[in-house]
Structure 1
Amino acid sequence: MIHTRSSTMRASAMRMLAVLVLALLGTSALAVLADAPANAAARLTASSSLGGAVASTSGRTGFTVSGSGFQAVEGGFGGVYIGFGWVNGSGWGPSQGGATGRTYDYVPDEQSRSNQGFQAFVAFPGSSTSGEAQATMGSDGSFRVNLTVPGPTFTGAGGKSIDCTKVTCGFLTWGAHGVRNGANETFTPVTFRDGEAAPAVEQAPAAGAP
C-alpha cells in the first residue's frame, strides 16, 4: 500500500508539472505573437481613364499605379521594378526560382528615369540608387508612378511574342537590381476593352519622391 500511494503521488506530481510547463509555454507563445509586427501584404492598384485596371486594344493606355504595404528597406540597395507583362502561375517570382521569359515576362524599357514609361523603378527610402528612380518608396511601403501599356500585344524582355487577348496580363512588381524579395512580388491583372486609345495620364507627384 505504501508503494502504491507513493507511485500515485509521483504520478500526480508529474501531471501537475506537465500542466505548469504547458501553461508557461502558452504564455510565452502569446507574448511572441503580441510582439510580432503586423505587416500588411504588398498591394498594387492600377487605374486608367477608361476606369480601373482597363486598357484599350487600339493603342497605348496611360495608367496611374499605386503601391501600399511593400517592404521598405531604409537605406537598402535597389527597390522594386514595376512593369506590364504576364506571369505563369503563383510561383512566377524570382524569389521562387522564376526567370524572365520562362515564368514571367514584361515590356522591356530602359532602366532610367527618362524611359518610355513601360517600366518604372521605385527606390527604397534613403537608397543610393534613388537618382535613377521614377519614385522613392515611403517608409510605410507606399509609392505612386505613371506607366504606359503599349497595347494587347508586345515582344517581352525574354524575346517571346505575347498576346494579352489570349493570356492574362497585368502589372507585376519584383525586386530591383537583382535583389530577390518575395514580399515585394505582386501581380495585378489588367483587362482590355475594344475602342479608342485612352489618353495618357498626366504626370502626378509620386509618393515619397525627392
Structure 2
Amino acid sequence: MSHSPTSHRRRAVAAIAAAVIAGGALTTVGAAAASAAPSGSATGIGVNQPSGQPQPRLTVAPAADLDPDAPSTVTLTGTNYATTSASGNTLGGAYTLFGAITLRDAADPGSWAPTKRGVSGTHYDYAGEAGLYQLMVNYPGNTTEPGMPYMDAAGNWTLADHAIPGARFTSQSGNTIDCLAADTQCGFMTIGAHGQRSGGVEVFTPVTFAGETPGTGPGTDPGTEPGTDPGTDPGTDPGVDPGTDPGTDPVVVPADPCLVTEVPADAELTVTGAALSGTAAAMSVVPGRYLPCANATEVVVSGTGYDPTKPVYVGLGALADHGNPEAWRRSAGGASGPDGDYDYGLPRLVVAQGSEDAALADAEIGADGTWQLTLTVPGKDVASFFGGTIDCAVAYCGVFSFGAHGRVAAANEAYVPVYFGGQDPSGTPPTSPTSPTTPTPTTPAPPSGSGSGAPVSGTPVPGTALPAATQTTGQSGVGVNGGLPATGAAGAARTVLIGGVLLLSTGLLGGVLLLRTRRGAVRPI
C-alpha cells in the first residue's frame, strides 16, 4: 500500500494465519511448485456467523503460482452463503473482490470485515476497475443485477473467469498494493452488496503468486494467557444522596408534528449542518423546516468546503443514534441499511470536479468545493433503498453525504437535519426507528454433502494465510461501494455499483445512472 508497512500489519497477518490454519479454516488442494503454471485451489471459511450456523466458504482455483506480472483469471466457488440480507430481503448479494486485508483486532480473524466495522481502504482494500476486478453474485430472487450469477437456495454459486490484475496494483482507495511484500497477503474477499453488511457472505481466501515465498511459520504463539486479574473490587459506595426532589414540571408529550401544516410567515427555512470532526464540509437545505408530511416538496441541497477531487453520494434518511452524529460516518466504520448506523433513500451522485460523468450526475463539485442539487422529497415517508420505509415524522431525518465509488472520503462526510411539519430540534429522538417491510432473516441449510460447516480436508496453505470470512449479518457498508460498468466477454452487461448502491437503468436511483462500457477484456493466461 502507499503508506509504510507497520508492525501492526505484520502481527495481523501472522495472527490470521495462525487462527485460520489452526482452525482448519483454510485448505489447499494440489498446489504446485513455484516454478509451475498456476494450479491448486484454496478455500476460506467464514468465522463471524453465529455459533451453530453454517459458515460460508469461498474456493479459488487456481490459487497458487499465479502470474505476478500480468492479469489472469480464476474460478470462484461459494458454498453455505446466506441467501438474504440481515433484514431478510433478497436485494443484493455478495461482491467478489481481489485485494488485501488488515485486522482491526489481531485476536479476531474476522475483524477486517464490514460486520466488525472494518473500513474500506483501511481494513480491507481491493483492486479498482469495477466490472472487471469487482463483480457480484446475486441472492436468489434479486433482480438488480441479472447479468451476474445467482446463488442457489442453499447459498451455493460459481463465478468463472474472475480477473486478477497481477501482484502489484492500485486499489480502489488509491493505495498501492504489492502482494509480494513480506507483510501483505492478497486474496479474494466477498462482502455484502449494495451497502448491506452481511456476515453470511464475508469470507477471505488467500492466493499466492509465482516466486512468492510465503514462509513456513504462520505463527505459533497467538497468546494463551487471558489474564488473571479481572478485578475484584466493583466498588462499595453507591452514593448516599440520590436526591429527594423528583421535580414538579410535568412531561409534555409533543403533538403529532404532521398536524402543523402552515408555515409561519417569519420562519427561517434554511437549515445548515455543522461540520463533522476533522472536516470543513457542510450542507444546507432550503427549505429544511416545515416540510409537509403528506405532499412532495422540492428542496435545494448545497455543499461547501468539499474536497473537489472526491465524489460523494447524497441521500435523505435517518441516523440510528442522534445522540452521536459521528457514529454513522463510513470513515469510522459506519454502515448503511435498516440495521446499520444510518438508513437512507433518494440517493444522488455528486461527481468530482472535471469528471467525465458530470453530464450524467446530479451535480459536480466546483474548484472552490461547492456544489448544489435539487431533491424532491416525497413527504415524511421515504422509501429506504434497502427495503422498508423511513418515517421521518418519527425518526427525524436529514441529508447525508459520503464517499462514492467505494472510496472512504472522510473529508466529504457531512450531515444536515431537516424537519417535517412542527418538528423541532429539541424533539429529536436518541434513536431513529424505521419501518422495514421485510421478513425475518433465515439461515440457509448447508448444501448436501457439506456437513455442518466443518473445514474442508486438505493441506493447509503455508505461510501467512489469511482468514476465512466473517459472518455476522447486517451491514455494507460497508461493502464494495465501487461501480460495476459493463465489461466482460461477449459484452455481458455488468452494471454500475456505486457507494454501496447498485444503479439500474430501470430508474431505481433516478438521475444517478452511470453506465460505462469497458473496452476490451482481460486476456486469461
TM beyond 0.5: yes
8 A contact 1:82–1:120 mirrored in 2 = yes
8 A contact 2:95–2:136 mirrored in 1 = yes
Number of aligned positions between the proteins: 153
Amino acid at match of 2:142: S
Tell me the equivalent position of 1:100: 120
CA distance in structure 2 between the aligned counterparts of 1:70 and 1:162, rounded to whole angstroms: 28
* Residue from 61, 81, 97 that aligns with 1:70: 81
Flag the structure with more relative contact order, 1 or 2, with Cα contacts below 8 A and sequence separation at least 6.
1
CA distance in structure 1 between the aligned counterparts of 2:89 and 2:117, rounded to whole angstroms: 26
Amino acid at match of 1:67: G
8 A contact 2:65–2:211 mirrored in 1 = no
State the 1:182 CA deviation: 1.4
Mapping of 1:122-201 within 5 angstroms?
122-131=137-146, 133-146=147-160, 147-166=162-181, 167-194=184-211, 200=524
CA distance in structure 2 between the aligned counterparts of 1:80 and 1:127, rounded to whole angstroms: 11
Say yes or no: does 1:40 pair with 2:54. Answer: yes
Cα 1:75–1:180, aligned 2, differ >3 Å: closer, same or farther?
Answer: closer
Amino acid at match of 1:103: H
Say yes or no: does 1:109 pair with 2:120. Answer: no
CA distance in structure 2 between the aligned counterparts of 1:43 and 1:165, rounded to whole angstroms: 25
| TM-score, length of structure 1 as denominator length | 0.67
SS of the aligned residue for 2:140 comes to: coil
Amino acid at match of 1:137: M
State the 1:130 CA deviation: 3.2
CA distance in structure 2 between the aligned counterparts of 1:150 and 1:45, rounded to whole angstroms: 18
Amino acid at match of 1:83: L
8 A contact 2:150–2:157 mirrored in 1 = yes
State the 1:100 CA deviation: 1.1
State the 1:194 CA deviation: 4.0
Amino acid at match of 2:191: W
Cα 1:53–1:143, aligned 2, differ >3 Å: closer, same or farther?
Answer: farther
SS of the aligned residue for 2:208 comes to: strand
State the 1:157 CA deviation: 1.0
CA distance in structure 2 between the aligned counterparts of 1:58 and 1:165, rounded to whole angstroms: 11
Amino acid at match of 2:208: T
Residues 143-189 of structure 1 deviation map (CA, whole Å, 9 limit, x = unaligned)? 11131111101111111111000110000000000000112111000
State the 1:57 CA deviation: 1.4
8 A contact 1:130–1:136 mirrored in 2 = no
Q: Greater share of strand residues, 1 or 2?
A: 1
State percent identity of aligned pairs: 33
State the 1:38 CA deviation: 6.1
Cα 1:54–1:79, aligned 2, differ >3 Å: closer, same or farther?
Answer: farther
State the 1:63 CA deviation: 0.1
Tell me the equivalent position of 2:258: none
SS of the aligned residue for 2:122 comes to: coil
State the 1:140 CA deviation: 0.7
* Residue from 72, 93, 100 that aligns with 1:61: 72
8 A contact 1:153–1:161 mirrored in 2 = yes
Amino acid at match of 2:197: R
8 A contact 2:98–2:186 mirrored in 1 = yes
8 A contact 1:120–1:145 mirrored in 2 = no
Amino acid at match of 2:524: A
Amino acid at match of 2:59: T
Tell me the equivalent position of 1:23: none
Please say which of residues 169-178 and 94-103 is displaced more in the overlay: 94-103
CA distance in structure 1 between the aligned counterparts of 2:138 and 2:89, rounded to whole angstroms: 9
Cα 1:177–1:168, aligned 2, differ >3 Å: closer, same or farther?
Answer: same
